[in-house]
Amino acid sequence: MDKLQTQPQWWRGAVIYQIYPRSFQDSNGDGIGDLAGITRRLPHIAALGAEAIWISPFFTSPMADFGYDVSDYCDVDPMFGTLADFDAMVARAHELGLKVLIDLVLSHTSDQHPWFAESRASRDNARADWYVWADAKADGTPPNNWLSLFGGSAWQWDARRQQYYLHNFLASQPDLNFHCPAVQDALLAVARFWLERGVDGFRLDTVNFYTHDAQLRDNPPQAAGQFAAGVPRNNPYAFQRHLYDKTQPENLLFINRLRALCDQYDERVAIGEIGDDRQYQTLSDYTRGDDRLHMAYVFTMLNEQCAPRYLHGVLAEYLADARDAYVCWSLSNHDVARVVSRWAALGGEPKARARTFAALLLSLPGAVCLYQGEELGLPEADVPYELLQDPYGKVLWPEYKGRDGCRTPLPWNDSGDGGFGSATPWLPLSAEQLPLAVNRQQDDVDSTLAFWRRFIAWRNQQPALRYGRLELLDADDRLLRFQRHHQGEAVQCVFNLSDRATSLALPQGAELLPGSGFALACNENELTLPALSAAFIRLAAGEQ
């Protein structure tokens, strides 16, 4: 029996490496990364110590939102390759002991999808109710006050049907109608198609957006001084409480069906992306029991706030609202500025920030997602407006520059093309990132890449860090402290998130765990943490 069949619940505590395929590796010289490029670079991910890859969308798409607008769920867009390339990539990943998760975008399709073309053709065709259609108000305005996350009304007028259709994102991304049983059946057939091709699970984009309020009630405003979570404050979407346009109770019935399908296959996993005003409560609802999602993540560590007291509050909210939920944590992804730049307010050298953030991420309870380039400590790239590709950024520029700064090509070497490919890439390479290229760090024992490799391997030898329950310690202006408990062992995790050295009294009988990669000054009674560093302390039995 091979390795892939002998690891029960492999996803508990797993390190999942997110690949944004357009920017990972170009294999055919067209300036766009592809599936063959991913296959070529899989050994890099395996050597890092990750257990799985999550691949952002590669399906057939007009690319208005770079693959998150799907026009064919069951094929590969030609710019990324073919189904044969996908099969070869999965086979190679499994050879290397890597699971493969793919990004399913089920809440909406492209307006170029054949389903939508049929639905908009008339009000009485076979797919007429596959999307969310509604009549105008008497004065011709949209049915309600719902807003698009990408700006403006969430309703687009369609002259042929003489109705509005719902789009939570771009107008070219119409929302599917999950109140229609045939829609649910069609999407479950899509999931089965990929499960049969050997994928090990799904990352579910905007999982709480699937079902809308059938009565189309208006959203109320946020309370004074409050804003919707995970949304720039200059976006009017942040001004509403999103009570009716998403997170409806009927959505859980579809989640039940999707989980039941996954459970027909061995060790498949479903990870949800949740953006909601009550983030951890919704996460708990969506992961409770054995018939919903295996795990989910929220946006509380994907914004600019990084003070130790804020992060303490995030973990306190998690413990209060979702203690029994299984979380997949991340500090970076394809939608937010890279964490080394986003949390620069903590001060210190970027390399020290990168290491400390890595240690923090890998010490949290649950699985973790590591975004491509995070293992190199890459800063956010500065993409000028004339080269901007992201439609979100174009709408809100310059107060919000969009998501292109975290999506620039991964620098595999420090040459002019970064080892990405021979053609001009779809987004410019960042000159600031080239000195941090893989070839520069590959054999450097003091590099950020080497730190990630060592820390992941070290964490795998610390069951309390991978599997233990969380106990949050007192809030502090400089230190974030918590303990992980597992089978009679307790490890205290301490992070100095300031630009000054900080001392800490050691609990009686405690010992500093060696091998974490941080140089610390320690005597019998006191531990000194340099600026932006971490310590891991095994507690004596009486102190647990």
Catalytic (active-site) positions: 205, 273
CA distance 266 to 248: 30
CB atoms within 10 A of CB 353: 25
Residues 255 and 286 sit within 8 Å (Cβ to Cβ): yes
What is the three-class DSSP state of 290?
coil
Amino acid letter, 474:
D
For residue 370, the cross-strand partners are 17
Closest CA relative to residue 74, chosen from 57, 60, 61:
60
| Tokens 């198609």, residue located | 193
Tokens matching residue 340? 């080394």
The DSSP element (H or E) to which 183 belongs, if any, is helix 181-196
Alpha-carbon distance values, 524 to 223, 377, 506, 518 (Å)? 51, 34, 7, 18
C-alpha–C-alpha distance, residues 282 and 397, integer Å:
31
Best CA proximity match to 408, nearest among 339, 330, 337: 337
- CA pair distance 367, 354, nearest whole angstrom: 19
Of 5, 55, 47, 33, the residue nearest 371 (C-alpha): 55
Residue 520, phi then psi, degrees to nearest 5 = -130, 150
In the sheet with 469-472, reading across from the earlier edge strand, the strands are 469-472, 479-486, 489-496, 533-538, 511-512
Question: Exposed/middle/buried for 6, CB within 10 Å: 0-12, 13-18, 19+?
Answer: exposed
Q: Three-state SS across 75-119? A: EECCCCCCHHHHHHHHHHHHHCCCEEEEEECCCECCCCCHHHHHH
Structure-block tokens of residue 371? 């975004």
Tell me the C-alpha distance between 272 and 233, whole Å: 24
CA angle, corner 357, sides to 353 and 361, nearest 5?
175
